[in-house]
Structure 1
Amino acid sequence: MTTAPPTAPGSASAAAYRSLRRLHRPALLVWAAFALLVTGWLLWLHLSKVPAERDCRGFFRYSPMAADSLPGCGYSAFTDANNVFNFLGEAISYSCVAVAAWAGGALIGRELESGTARLAWTQSVSPARWLAGRLTAAALPLVAGGGLLALVFGWAWSSDQDWLVSNWTYDRVFVARGPLLPALLLLGLAVGALAGIALRRTLPALGAAAAVTLLTRLYLREAWLPLHGPLHGFWAVQLSATAMVLVLAAAAAFGAFWVLRRRTR
């Protein structure tokens, strides 16, 4: 009678990572599609829409023709460069709420509710390592996508700020064009993890994580406004706000590990 050789720890970790990747591949694809769609939209604004609107203004400055007489120069609230840019800025700056809902409901809450997590703990993965693996696997694409969006958004706004009416102090510009965006995504991830571990049920964790992140995001808007007084310039305020959010994210992540440890002793 022969027995199967024991699975090496490295092989178990690799298998667990592949399983995690397959489980959350749809969410990863949605996030990648969102980042690429917004990036493409921003490139269209900068390379096509804003130059076309500049040409139209130059044409009508020297021509008595009506605005609708030249193709592509008529006004539409859904295609106006300022409106589209402001909409994209708002969508980007509140994307952390969707991240929190997903992290609380699908990444953590569902596995605890279904018992999948406890099964993993009885095999080769400790609870702390299980949570660290999930947070790391989610944080990497979130930071990469958030960084890409911030770079493209900042480049488009800086290039076209003479045409766009949004000031850098507006939330839809301030959040979306710097490291504050990836920091907010990490905050949403950490809050979602904490809610999932505390509630252990998919829908309650999803709702609680989204609500707490939204309220925190609204509060932070008021918290970093006073920074505009003692600090001068975009980057001074941006980096201070980013540090503030990262501290909150670290506190939420620590809380998630603490609650998990208390409940699995």
Structure 2
Amino acid sequence: MNATTNAGTNTTSVRPAAPRALSRTRGLVRTVLRLHRHALWIWLAYMFITAALLLWLYGPGATNAQEEFDTYGYYPPGGWDTAKYAYDTLFYQPQMLISMAAFAVPLFAAGSLTGREIENGTAQFAWSQSTGPVRWLAAKLAVPAVLLTAGTTLLVVLYRLLWSAHNGLLIAGYSPRELYFSIGPSTVALPLLGLAVGALCGLVIGRALPALAVAAVLQYLISAMRGRLWPFQHSTVYGELPELPVRGGPHRTYLASPDYWPRQLLETGVLLAVTALVVALAFYALRRKVTTA
């Protein structure tokens, strides 16, 4: 609390420090949003497009795909593309969009969020003002993390809704393991790890383009390792499914592992633990940069 005495009146006014701290926090949040408003609009547009596509696939998209599938089966007489693109490509577009977003997050964090500000000196200027280095980095990580968590959680919920209603169409595609593995909490945790990795790269390297390149390589390695982490993701069988009107011979499908959720939760825990470690390293790198400046 801050106390001030008015001369001649012997009255003391007490101003609590908590509202001032809250005001400074709100100011930091507004600053981050205003500084990265273009990235914010891109994220909102991405969320709108992906959510709209998922809802369309849940409704009229699934109806059209089912009609094509009922007519032609998996091996249509008119050629492979006649029915494949009716349900395979369209149903896998949301998964591709989610993968692209997870890959773009560390690039943004390394380039625009931290690397460019370190390179241009705007971060150092902010540190010399009322915003200290720790609060600066905390705001840089917290604001995007909230937006990423809220957005990806919404997409996972819509994806699960689509899977619950039309999994018969979804598993008829060529590589459904990617789609099926996108409907769990690890889809929410992966971009958070990318955010932490990108921020660390920007802080350590201190230049936008090199940090962006290193973050891209690291995120590619993380995604590649994640895709080969669980053996059940690659399980495929060749045969008929009685609930699907398949014509023209056997088709490829995917059998979900009975321990899907234990593995999914385990991977989510690992991703979050690594994220916490990378965030700690980012604050350590920030402290080293401040002390050596």
1:240 aligned onto 2:247: no
1:23 is aligned, of 14, 24, 35, to 35
Separation (CA, whole Å) in 1 of partners of 2:67 and 2:101: 34
Alignment deviations for residues 141-187 of structure 1 (CA, whole Å, 9 cap, x no partner): 0001110111111211221111222599713320x211111100100
Which amino acid is the alignment partner of residue 40 of structure 1? Answer: A
Q: Write the deviation string for residues 107-157 of structure 1: whole angstroms up to 9, x where unpaired.
A: 111111111111111111221111011100110000011101111112112
Q: 1:226 and 1:15, CA in 2 relative to 1: closer, same or farther beyond 3 A? A: same
Give the partner amino acid of 1:47: G
Tell me if structure 2 keeps the 8 A contact 1:93–1:172: no
Query: Deviation of residue 234 (structure 1)?
Result: 2.4
1:84 and 1:187 mapped to 2: Cα distance?
28
Cross-structure match for 1:173: 180
Contact 1:151 1:177 in 2 (8 A): yes
Q: CA deviation at 1:226?
A: 6.8
The size of the alignment, in residue pairs, is 246
Tell which structure's C-alpha radius of gyration is larger.
Answer: 2
- What's the CA shift string for 1:172-226, capped at 9, x where partnerless? 320x211111100100000001000001111111111121111111112222337
- 1:13-41 CA deviation, whole Å, 9 max, x = no partner? 43333222111111111111111101111
* Counterparts of 1:132 and 1:236, CA distance in 2: 32
Instruction: Pick one of 144, 155, 163 that aligns with 1:149.
Output: 155
1:220 matched to 2:226: yes
Structure 1 residue 44: deviation in Å? 1.2
Identity, in percent, stands at 34
After superposition, the Cα gap between the structure-2 partners of 1:13 and 1:56, relative to the gap in structure 1 and judged at 3 Å, is: closer
CA distance in 2, matches of 1:157, 1:227: 17
Give distance in 2, aligned partners of 1:97 and 1:58.
36
The one-letter amino acid paired with 2:31 is S
Question: Equivalents in 2 of 1:18, 1:160: separation in Å?
Answer: 41
What residue number does 1:71 align with? none
Contact 1:45 1:81 survives alignment (8 Å): no
Shift of residue 83, structure 1, vs aligned partner: 1.3
- The one-letter code matched in structure 1 to 2:179 is R
2:177·2:233 contact (CA, 8 Å) conserved in 1? no
CA distance in 1, matches of 2:82, 2:46: 27
The yes-or-no answer on 1:32 pairing with 2:39 is: no
TM-score of the two chains, using structure 1 as the length reference: 0.83
Q: Is the 8 A contact 2:68 2:86 kept in 1?
A: no
1:92 aligns with 2:98: yes
Q: Which has the higher strand share?
A: 2
Per-residue deviation, 1:88? 2.3
Aligned to 1:253: 279
Query: Who is 2:57 aligned against?
Result: 45
Residue number among 184, 191, 198 corresponding to 1:185 in the alignment: 191
Match of 2:67 among 38, 55, 71: 55
Structure 2: tracts of 5 or more residues without a match: 1-19, 236-256
Q: Take 1:197 and 1:227, find their aligned partners in 2: how far apart are those partners? A: 35
2:88 corresponds to 1:82: yes
Residues in 2 aligned to 1:240 and 1:183: alpha-carbon distance in whole angstroms? 11
Whole-angstrom CA distance in 2 between matches of 1:13 and 1:116: 19
Deviation at 1:55, TM superposition (A): 3.2
1:124 is paired with a residue whose SS is coil
TM-score, with length taken from structure 2: 0.76
What's the Cα RMSD here? 2.7
